[in-house]
Structure formats: structure tokens, C-alpha cells
Structure 1
Amino acid sequence: MKTRLFSLLAAALLCAGTAQARGEYAEIARLRSMNEGVRGIRSMADGEHYTTLEGNNIVRYGYAAAGRGQSMLPSPTANLVITDYTFSPDERQILIASGAKPIYRHSYTTSYYLARGGSLTPVLREAEAPRDASFSPDGKLIAYSDRNDLYVYDTAAGQTRRITDDGAWNAIINGTTDWVYEEEFGFTKAYAFSPDSRRIAYLRFDETEVPLMEMMRFDGKLYNEAYSFKYPKAGERNSTVEVWVCDLQTGAKERIDTGGETDQYIPRIGWTPDGRLYFFRLNRRQNTFEVILCEPHGAQRTIYDERSQQYVERVDDKTVTFVDNDRFLVRQESHTGYMHLYLYSIRKGFLAQVTKGPWEVTDLIGTDGKRVWYLSTETSPLRRNLYSVRLDGKDKRRLTNEEGFYTIAPSAGMKYYIATFSNAATPNRVEVCDGEGNPVRTLFESRALREQLAATQRPVKEFFTFVTERGDTLNAYLIKPRGFDPSQRYPVLLTQYSGPGSQSVRDRWSLDWEDALADKGYIVACTDGRGTGFRGEKFKKITYGRLGALEVEDQLSFARYLAAQPYADPARIGIYGWSYGGFMALSCALKGHGIFKMAIAVAPVTSWRYYDSIYTEIYNNLPQYNAAGYDDNSPINFARMLDDRRTQLLLIHGTADDNVHFQNTVEMTRALNRCGKQYDMMVYPDQNHSMQPNDTANVRQKMIEYTLGHL
């Protein structure tokens, strides 16, 4: 359920889905496609050049000077469908992933090609289902996974060596992750070369005791088939995870001691710049996090630890960043209640708090060893701006000057960066800037889209705050229809997600199916209630242990607030949500006592007992210790409260949703049926949690038409 960066694979799949758009959503999809950006940015090692993906070509540009760009691939490349690519460290070779066969929502197998010396050659051809391939630091080897085992390919000799041989589906996984690590810890490549390329560390998952989930596949066949995979639900057995190191010269393998507790998480492994192995360790409750360093002689020591009464925010690749052989940066919130950067030493421990204040660092962009560049919410929780500061916390500089939302792609050594800026009124503008924030040149500015938006006077989000009956101040926005007349009353659709640490109200350009309603005379409204992110630890963690209690209160407060406004029709208020948002929309429909005329819940969680261990337990503890947190707010237990004479309910789900299983909707409908309730339902056969690969557009058009017909 965790939100993610928009990957190249996801972009390709989304384009495939939106190609089928029709009706009102077709116009939304067309406008979205006009928002310009740079795809597949990679900085070259010199920090002076970068590459991008343009169609099925990789093109090299200079940061400082405009030019046509240099193709990095021999032509023709018609057989390629580039999903991803990476350069070897000496940049004489390019490893290209072509095509994608999905495994789960984010993982896929692919075909690999090697571009070098003016030729393009398929590699890893003996592999049946290769994935997660990458170069060694010396560029001589390519490691990859195939059918749950780890392999190493010698690029010069063209030979493959098998590192593990016990991989088996639904049993043992080497070098890649199981389902729940992929979904919740956000990575699939579970191996790392040492800096000298002589060793490779990898994770070994034993999921033998993890309960089996069977998901029915139909696929247009005469006899449907069950797709079985290991999925640990809240409170159930997780994989046992081990850290192994293989000496690539001798072939010897060693299991690394990760402590006596096996019911824990190892969410990252890596090597320090001087070649010492480290790994992250997190307890099952996820409220104790440690970074363990392995010394060459076998000793281990904890170089960083963090503890929280509720939970430690989930770690990712930016949680710990090594500056050099001794110093490393940590991004954490437990010390001050806001997410900030801290400098540590392997030898000395804590050195300095690098950033401070009642705002949050949202991303660590890079460091040159003297300064660190980061994005933060210092001007507003709704916005992101780029700053740099010395590692001792002094000489802070704001490098971006507009009010809105920046994303940053840095060059090596932070000589330059590519900034993509937008705000609610302004689609993407992409610029090259130097490391001091000075604009160098503009790459794209979505001019055609800006002109169309201005010509059609498309409504823009209006941000505001409101105070609930309990006294909480919440951020919100409205999208008003064209020609808005404050003396008239308009139907209102609440759109929200509301999950822990999430954010829906932000000053960034976006367009989705809800915006089509503004063209039809509807107001679209959104608020981020308690438990959402970027307003400090206290605001976020207040929902701990009782998911769906305070969040529902806040959405109902928002609905009552809107109903009292002179421009809103109190008899025509609806609510929508997807995933956690679907859980919320459904809960609000059941507990709203008829305040909502319509509710749409897409892929909703209906009991947190059905959802995965990592996500659910970090926010709700284990069900063995907090049964009330799982049952007291389950929509299934409130089916009797649906006022189906006043609230039209639409449930939508894909049958191949490996994330929020179709089981959630099945059990919800069972409860509604037992209570004699009437509702509507839309089922998408063999579609996943995102309604891909085929129905991205169809589901959105369905929601538009349902809203127009019932609100």
C-alpha cells in the first residue's frame, strides 16, 4: 500500500491503459499526456553529462550547454522496448532491460541486452526468467536472479556462474525479495557487490512456513486456475531472512550472524565505501531499528539505533547515506518529532544535527562530502523546496525560489541538477540548474498544455484550512466548476486517501478522473485528516493502534463542514477512495448516517486482518496484542449501518489484486447481503491493484458515470 516513485514500467503500463480512455476521461487522459518531463534520467560519472530515454533510444546531453544530444545505442533498435537501463562504472557498457513480464505489482522479469563497442547483444540468454540485473563495481560481472537463485555473468568470457542452487517457488528465494518486502520495503534487488567486486552479499528468504494465498486467474481459459503465492497477513508467519556473503574468487559462502531473533526484518544490506558489510535490522513490532556493521575480523557492532514507542518510520535507500569511510547521514524523526538529517561517525557516534525546525526533510538528494542537498517542507507542508547546508548544520541556502512542488534529479558530485517544478496552477517546467541553484537552461515547460489550460479556463485547486468540531486544523482544497456562482448550491465529491504518512493535499499540478466532474458542475473537495504525513510525528502517529477511527471522524467533519457552506448542496455529497482510501470511503458511507448520497470504494481493505504483516503491524501492532484495533473499525462489522435508501454504494475490485485481495470485497458483500443491503459492484477480471494491465481508463470512466448518475 505504500506509495512509490513512478517507475518506467508503471509509466509504460499506464500509457497502455489510458489508450483505451473514452468519454469524459478521454479528455483528462489527453491533457495529462501533454504534461512534459524527462524520462529515465541518469547522470554520467563526470557530472557534466546525463542521459535520458527517448522512445527506444538512450540519448546523452551536456548539463551546461544545449545540443541535439548523442545517441548511445547502435541503430536500429526496433527489437528493443526499453524498460530500464544502467551504465557500467566505466560507462563503456550499457545493460538494457527490454520488455517486462509482471510478477507482482512492481516486480517483473525481462530480456537483457548489452550495448558496447558499437554493438547490441542479447545476454543472459540461458536464463529462463532473469530479473534485477546489475553491474559489479569493476564492470566485469553482471549479477541477476533467475527462478529464485542468484547468478553472476562474466561479460568478457560470456560465462555464467550459479551462486545458489536451493531456490524454489513458494519456498526459498535468493537475491530477490518475497512479496511483502517488495511491496512494503520498496525493493526487489536483494544483493550487493562489495566495492572491490570480490564478494557479493545477498538475502536468503525461507518462506516455507508463510501461509499460502491462492488468487484465482481466469485469463479467458476454459478452466480457470489458481495462482498461489506466499503472503503473510497480519500476525501470521513471515519469511525467515538470512544474510549470506559469497567470495567470488573461491566460491566459499558464509552466513552472517543477524542475531538470535529470527522473527525480524532485514530491510537493507550494503557495503561501506571501504568495503565493510552492513545490514539494517528491524524488530517485528517495527519500533526498534539498528544499523549493524560487520568488521573484517568477524566482529559486529551497532553504529546506529533508533527506538519509538509506536514505530520507526519505514526505512528506504535514503535512510542511511554514507559520506565517506567513516561518516554517514541518517534521516529520522524520533529525536525531535520532525524528519531531519543527522551526521554520525562509525568511530565516534553522533556528530551533528544537520537540519532542524518544525518542518520535515522529505528527500536527501545528494552530498559532495562538504554539503548536503535536500528537499523539505520548510515553506509549507504542501510544498517541496530544495536546500543545501554544510554537514555541520551551518550555512543553509534555499536553492529553489518558486512556491510549489519540486522534484530533483542530481548529477554526480552535485555539480548540476535537473529540477521539475509544478504547482496547482502550473504544469511541469523542467530546468537544468547548477549546484548553487542558478538556472542554466530550460528543457521543457509544457507550453502547449499551459495554453490549453488557459484557453479553457480549467479550474484550479484552492487551498485552505478548516477546524473540526474537535479543534483540529486540517489542510484541504476545493476544485470549483467553471463559472462558479457562490449563490448557487453544487453537488460535492470528497476524494481522499487518508493512510498513515500519506498526503493528498499538496501544491502540485495533477489531473485525474475527479477533475472531469468540475466540467459537469460539481465541486471536488479533499482534506488530509489526522494520521497523514508531513506535519510532524505527533500528528501522524496519533492514529496508531486504531486505524480508521480518527480518520473517519475527520472525513465526516469535513463533510459536515461542506454541507454547512452556502455553495454546497447538503443533500448531494459523495465520497471516493482507492485502497486505504477505499477502506475510508466505505467506512464513511457506513458511519455517515446518510450524509453521503453516494460512495465509491475501489480495492478497499475491509478488515486489517486480511492485509499484509509489515504494513498493518507497523500502524496497528500485531492482532495478537491489539484485537480491538483490527475489529472495532472493520467495515465488515458495520454492514448493518448502511442506509441504502439514502446512500448509493459502489464497490470496485480487480480479481487478480495480489495486494488488497479480492477477498476483502467478497467478505464485505457477504456481510451486506446478510444484512439485506443493496449496493452496486464492478468487477475487473484478472486486473491487479492498479487495474492494470487493461482497465486503468475503464475504471475511471465508470466512476465518472456513476457519480453523474447518482450524485
Structure 2
Amino acid sequence: PEDRSIKITSNGKENVIFNGIPDWVYEEEMLAVKYALWWSPNGKFIAYVEFNDTDIPVIEYSYYGEDQYPRKVTIPYPKAGAKNPTVRVFIVDTTNPEGLGPKEVPVPAVIASSDHYFTWLTWVTDNRIGVQWLKRIQNFSVLAVCDFQENSNSWYCPENRQHIEESQTGWAGGFFVSTPYFTSDTTSYYKIFSDKAGYKHIHYIKGSVENAIPITNGQWEAIYIFKVTDDAIFYSSNEFEGYPGRRNIYKISIRSNPPRKQCITCNLRKERCQYYTARFSENAKYYALVCYGKYKIKVLEDNLELESAMENIKMPKTDINKLEVDGITLWYKMLLPPQFDRSKKYPLLIQVYGGPCSQNVKHTFGISWITYLASREEIIVALVDGRGTAFQGDKMLHAVYRKLGVYEIEDQISAAKSSLKQVIHLGCINGTVSLFFLNIIASIYTERFMGLPTESDNLEHYKNSTVMARAENFRNVEYLLIHGTADDNVHFQNSAQISKALVNAQVDFQAMWYTDQDHGIPGLSSKHLYTHMTHFLKQCFSLSE
């Protein structure tokens, strides 16, 4: 702590060169963290990524604040088809940072030959790293294992240790490409990717991905690897009893022959919790189990305050089940009023997200706006996992590949019209949905699922996904458009263009803007948002205020 600080980089420039921290699009859509530097196990080396946003198109919006003039906010933001940041990976020897300087890790030739992304870095030993790269058309990923060469003071990534993962039906990985978990031999590793049947499973790789050995299999998916030791693999999956929205923790004893699998949580508190995650100690001797159910598990957190607060609250009843619609299995979750009576008619609200790789039908506990609607306003709320949602195999996940905006809404409507009415007695149906233009959303996100908006690639489907040409269809519905003016993710430009199209089509609609609020619309604005939406729904459903 008393040593003087040493400057490693000198080329950093606001909104142009980012060293060790990601720019906007990488933080939001690729890394999902605010850092881009990694220490080696014993601290000899530090690796970092340089993001170069030179000539990246920018988004600008006004932050109105309290002053006489608004402040302009400028963010480099590559949209679909636009120029992307360039990335370089550097490693610094901390024992002599000034004398040796940063050393660049080479990009594999098969990746470097076209636009590409850096996706993650994993230290194996102090002298070995695994760097993951992805082509801009995100169905081709490479894990390059690189070693430090003492004689040349450089990092070497031989071609025979470049492991390719390629999807033939969609994009590589889930929302992100999974990371490798190296074994103690520092060469072989475990990794989750799609098997030949199209389900995400754990594989053991020693040599090439083509010769990977499946560790798990079945018509369910491995979700996350928590820890790999010499004796065991600890992971989560949704295999127990065939419910995609559950999560349980498993241990595979890899030294036994054949390997022996044990579910740690399946029957631990089955009536209380069916959705778990965990945090493991370094050697996996201890773990902290986290339950996303309603009730307490252990004394680390007993939830007594929540439990007592809920004693006098009538909570909705929850029904999780599945429907068969046109040969497709659609899982749904319904929140029913506490005094639900099957002989009565109720309004139904379908809450739609439906974005690729999402999952709404989960065995988790939470209190939110839809809880209030079901318990207080006696509105049945339904969530349906349609095509494009995750953890049910690639056939379901990749159904929306290169044609977003088609099946997501179609499946919600089909579920409501053909099947949910058979489950409950409905008076009327309404829905909430996010609308945006794919060609003005971040490149990494949009192109992962749609490819490029060019005539030679997928321009036609980009055009088909827009609501601009369908503004006339809003004429006979009640429509409320809501947006925060400082949304740096889905820009206010989306709502401006939607409202313009509706006005040009002479469609009457309602709108609410939240000044200086971002994507989440937090704080006091959040309370106002849900109050406003509640009034709107009660108006739509002709419910008394």
C-alpha cells in the first residue's frame, strides 16, 4: 500500500480509449461487468482490455436537470450494422511493469480476419490464460489457450490450442458464450455448450471440442458451473421433475466409475424452495445456499421481518403449468386473486417480455406490481414463455433467430386465445409489451439474434420487425406509451418514432415521459409509473377506481 503507483497506460481518452474498463456496449451487452482487467492467480501478471471507440457513432440526449439550460449527454453507441469498437488484450508483468511494458495477446487468425468481439478472459496459471473471441456474426466462438514465453517475453497462442464452438442453428452460447473451468492439469476443462440434441450440457474437453465428452445429457439444460475440483463438479440445472423454471444444485463425483450424480437441493425444502443458487468456497468445502423461494432455509438470513409483514397480506395464488399450442409446449405462470372463484369472470393481463434467452416462468418468490394487481385489483396476470425463451433446448431458443418480433407476440396471443381461456373463465384480455426498433438498438445485442441489416444478410427481416408500418393496427386498441428521456439503453428515439408513426396514422393513444429517468425508471418515478399504469388498466378493463 505504501509503494508508489505505477502508470501502465497513457493513451486513455474520454469516450474514445477505455483501458481496463469497458465502453457502453461491452459493459451492457457482452461482459455484464464494469471492469475489464484480471489479475493472475499469484498476482505476477495483470491482463486488461483496451476498447477503442474511435469513429463510433454517438447517441446524444438532453439531461434537463434544474438549470437554465439542459446538459447534453454523449455516448459512443454502435447500433445494428454500425462500426463497432476495436479491442486488444494486453498483459503486464507487475514485477517490472515500466521496463517490460504491456504485451499484446494475439487474436487467432480465424477471428482476426473479420469484425470480431472479445468475450472473456480466464487465468489458468500465472503463465497460461484462456481468451475467448467471437465473430461479429455471433455463431462462431474461439477459446484460445495462450502461454507466456520467457525467452521472447511474449504470449503465444498455438493453433492446436484454439478451440472452436460453432452453432448451426443460431448464435453461440446462451445470452453469453459460457466460460471454461480448467482442471488441475491446466490443459483440460469443463464447459457448457449445446450437445447434438440441441440442449445446453456440461462437456469435458481435452484436445478438441469435436471430441468433447458429454458429462450431462437429457432434455433439460445445465445452467451454470459453480466449482470444479479434482473430485467433483458442482453445477445447477433444471432437470428435476421436468420444470424448466426450477434450479437445483448438483454434485458429480468424477473420480467414481461411472461418475456419480447427487442432487444437493432437490428434496431439501421442496415445499418451500424450488429455485436455488450457491456460492462455494475456494476448495468447495463450504458453500452458501441461496433460495429464491418465500421461506427461510438457514439462519444466515431468516426473513422474519418479511414473514411477519406478510401475515396480514392476502397474497395471490400461483399456478405454474404448460400448454400445448400448435405442437409447441408453452410454460405459463398465473397469479390468481387470493379469493379466486372459478365460476366468476376475471380480467386477464399478459405481461410480455419474451426477449431472446429470457425466462419469465420461474419458481421464484417476489413482490411486484403484478402481485398488487392480482391481490388488490383482482386481475389475473399471466406470464408465458414462448419461442425464443431459454433453458428448453436450442429448438425453442433459436426459433426466433433472424426473425425477432414474429413468434414472441404470436405465442402470447395464441396462448391467451386458444388455451388460457380453457384454464380460467376470462372476461377480457389485455397486455403489456416492450416495443422498439431493432435497427436502432445496440449492435452486439441485435446482431446476435438478427445478423446484419444489409441486403446481403437480413435487411428484409429488420424491416418486417418494425412497428412503423403497422401503426394502423393500433387504431382499435387502448395504447399507453411510456419511456424515460435519459434511457441510455433503449433510447427515447424509439418512442419518438413510434409516436410519430401513430400520429401520422391518426391513431389516438396515451403517452407518459419520465424526465431524466433511465431504462429502469427508478425512485419516485417508479411509484408514479405503476400508479399510472394501474389507472390505465382499470380504465381498459372498466374497473371501478
TM-score relative to the length of structure 1? 0.69
What is the CA distance between 1:639 and its match in structure 2?
Answer: 0.5
Query: What is the CA–CA distance in structure 2 between the aligned matches of 1:699 and 1:232, rounded to whole Å?
Result: 29
1:503 equivalenced with 2:359 (yes/no): yes
With 407-416 and 679-688 compared, the bigger mean Cα shift is at 407-416
Aligned to 1:253: 102
Encode CA deviations 1:487-515: one digit per residue, 9 max, x unaligned.
21111111121111111011111121011
CA 1:317–1:370 in 2, change beyond 3 Å: closer, same or farther? farther
Query: What is the CA–CA distance in structure 2 between the aligned matches of 1:611 and 1:347, rounded to whole Å?
Result: 36
Query: What is the CA–CA distance in structure 2 between the aligned matches of 1:676 and 1:707, rounded to whole Å?
Result: 23
With 561-570 and 474-483 compared, the bigger mean Cα shift is at 561-570
Kept in 1: contact 2:356–2:390 (CA 8 A): yes
Query: What is the CA–CA distance in structure 2 between the aligned matches of 1:348 and 1:334, rounded to whole Å?
Result: 11
1:267 equivalenced with 2:119 (yes/no): yes
With 448-457 and 333-342 compared, the bigger mean Cα shift is at 448-457
CA 1:564–1:188 in 2, change beyond 3 Å: closer, same or farther? closer
Aligned to 2:318: 461
1:305 equivalenced with 2:164 (yes/no): yes
> Which residue type is aligned with residue 182 of structure 2?
F
CA 1:613–1:190 in 2, change beyond 3 Å: closer, same or farther? same
Encode CA deviations 1:74-119: one digit per residue, 9 max, x unaligned.
xxxxxxxxxxxxxxxxxxxxxxxxxxxxxxxxxxxxxxxxxxxxxx
What is the CA distance between 1:699 and its match in structure 2?
Answer: 1.6
What is the CA distance between 1:319 and its match in structure 2?
Answer: 1.9
Aligned to 2:8: 163
Please list, as runs of the form range in 1=range in 2, the aligned pairs for 1:69-218 lying within 5 A after superposition.
155-157=1-3, 159-185=4-30, 186-218=32-64
Query: What is the CA–CA distance in structure 1 between the aligned matches of 2:508 and 2:177, rounded to whole Å?
Result: 47
What is the CA distance between 1:349 and its match in structure 2?
Answer: 8.6
1:512 equivalenced with 2:368 (yes/no): yes
Query: What is the CA–CA distance in structure 2 between the aligned matches of 1:540 and 1:228, rounded to whole Å?
Result: 35
What is the CA distance between 1:531 and its match in structure 2?
Answer: 0.9
> Which residue type is aligned with residue 225 of structure 2?
L
CA 1:443–1:269 in 2, change beyond 3 Å: closer, same or farther? closer
Aligned to 2:281: 411
**Which of 308, 321, 338 does residue 482 from structure 1 map onto?**
338
> Which residue type is aligned with residue 618 of structure 1?
R
What is the CA distance between 1:317 and its match in structure 2?
Answer: 8.8
Query: What is the CA–CA distance in structure 2 between the aligned matches of 1:523 and 1:395, rounded to whole Å?
Result: 44
What is the CA distance between 1:628 and its match in structure 2?
Answer: 1.8
CA 1:166–1:504 in 2, change beyond 3 Å: closer, same or farther? same
> Which residue type is aligned with residue 575 of structure 1?
G
CA 1:311–1:317 in 2, change beyond 3 Å: closer, same or farther? closer
What is the CA distance between 1:447 and its match in structure 2?
Answer: 3.7
1:574 equivalenced with 2:430 (yes/no): yes
> Which residue type is aligned with residue 23 of structure 2?
D
Secondary structure at 1:267's aligned position in 2?
Answer: strand
What is the CA distance between 1:314 and its match in structure 2?
Answer: 4.9
Secondary structure at 2:414's aligned position in 1?
Answer: helix
Secondary structure at 2:448's aligned position in 1?
Answer: helix
CA 1:256–1:462 in 2, change beyond 3 Å: closer, same or farther? same
Aligned to 2:264: 399
**Which of 421, 429, 434 does residue 296 from structure 2 map onto?**
429
What is the CA distance between 1:700 and its match in structure 2?
Answer: 2.0
Query: What is the CA–CA distance in structure 2 between the aligned matches of 1:386 and 1:293, rounded to whole Å?
Result: 29
Please list, as runs of the form range in 1=range in 2, the aligned pairs for 1:278-427 lying within 5 A after superposition.
278-297=130-149, 298-301=155-158, 302-309=161-168, 310-314=170-174, 319-324=179-184, 325-345=186-206, 350=211, 352-379=213-240, 380-391=243-254, 394-400=259-265, 401=267, 402-403=269-270, 404-423=274-293, 427=294
Kept in 2: contact 1:545–1:620 (CA 8 A): yes
Q: Number of paired residues?
A: 513
Secondary structure at 2:494's aligned position in 1?
Answer: helix
Secondary structure at 1:160's aligned position in 2?
Answer: coil
Aligned to 2:81: 235
What is the CA distance between 1:247 and its match in structure 2?
Answer: 2.8
Aligned to 1:621: 451
Aligned to 1:555: 412
Secondary structure at 2:371's aligned position in 1?
Answer: helix
CA 1:352–1:372 in 2, change beyond 3 Å: closer, same or farther? same
> Which residue type is aligned with residue 267 of structure 1?
T
Aligned to 2:152: none
Query: What is the CA–CA distance in structure 1 between the aligned matches of 2:398 and 2:408, rounded to whole Å?
Result: 12
Instruction: Give the RMSD, CA atoms, in angstroms.
Output: 2.2
Determine which structure has the larger strand proportion and give its number: 1
Query: What is the CA–CA distance in structure 2 between the aligned matches of 1:390 and 1:316, rounded to whole Å?
Result: 27
Kept in 2: contact 1:196–1:275 (CA 8 A): no
Kept in 2: contact 1:406–1:422 (CA 8 A): yes
Query: What is the CA–CA distance in structure 2 between the aligned matches of 1:187 and 1:614, rounded to whole Å?
Result: 15
Kept in 2: contact 1:303–1:349 (CA 8 A): no
CA 1:457–1:694 in 2, change beyond 3 Å: closer, same or farther? closer
Kept in 1: contact 2:40–2:126 (CA 8 A): no
Query: What is the CA–CA distance in structure 1 between the aligned matches of 2:178 and 2:404, rounded to whole Å?
Result: 27
What is the CA distance between 1:167 and its match in structure 2?
Answer: 0.7
Query: What is the CA–CA distance in structure 1 between the aligned matches of 2:352 and 2:209, rounded to whole Å?
Result: 46
Kept in 1: contact 2:174–2:390 (CA 8 A): no
CA 1:705–1:282 in 2, change beyond 3 Å: closer, same or farther? same
Aligned to 2:487: 657
> Which residue type is aligned with residue 673 of structure 1?
V
Secondary structure at 1:461's aligned position in 2?
Answer: strand
Kept in 1: contact 2:182–2:188 (CA 8 A): yes
CA 1:286–1:482 in 2, change beyond 3 Å: closer, same or farther? same
CA 1:556–1:316 in 2, change beyond 3 Å: closer, same or farther? closer
Unpaired runs of 5+ residues, structure 2, are 150-154
Kept in 1: contact 2:174–2:357 (CA 8 A): no
1:537 equivalenced with 2:394 (yes/no): yes
What is the CA distance between 1:312 and its match in structure 2?
Answer: 0.1
CA 1:291–1:676 in 2, change beyond 3 Å: closer, same or farther? same
Query: What is the CA–CA distance in structure 2 between the aligned matches of 1:422 and 1:395, rounded to whole Å?
Result: 27
Query: What is the CA–CA distance in structure 1 between the aligned matches of 2:465 and 2:136, rounded to whole Å?
Result: 23
Query: What is the CA–CA distance in structure 2 between the aligned matches of 1:663 and 1:419, rounded to whole Å?
Result: 43
Unpaired runs of 5+ residues, structure 1, are 1-154, 432-441, 584-604
Query: What is the CA–CA distance in structure 2 between the aligned matches of 1:338 and 1:654, rounded to whole Å?
Result: 38
What is the CA distance between 1:565 and its match in structure 2?
Answer: 4.1
What is the CA distance between 1:523 and its match in structure 2?
Answer: 1.1
What is the CA distance between 1:316 and its match in structure 2?
Answer: 5.4
Kept in 2: contact 1:516–1:704 (CA 8 A): no
Kept in 2: contact 1:422–1:429 (CA 8 A): no
> Which residue type is aligned with residue 67 of structure 2?
K
Kept in 1: contact 2:317–2:338 (CA 8 A): no
Kept in 2: contact 1:267–1:315 (CA 8 A): no
Aligned to 1:632: 464
> Which residue type is aligned with residue 79 of structure 2?
K
Query: What is the CA–CA distance in structure 1 between the aligned matches of 2:331 and 2:18, rounded to whole Å?
Result: 44
CA 1:256–1:367 in 2, change beyond 3 Å: closer, same or farther? closer
Kept in 1: contact 2:388–2:396 (CA 8 A): yes
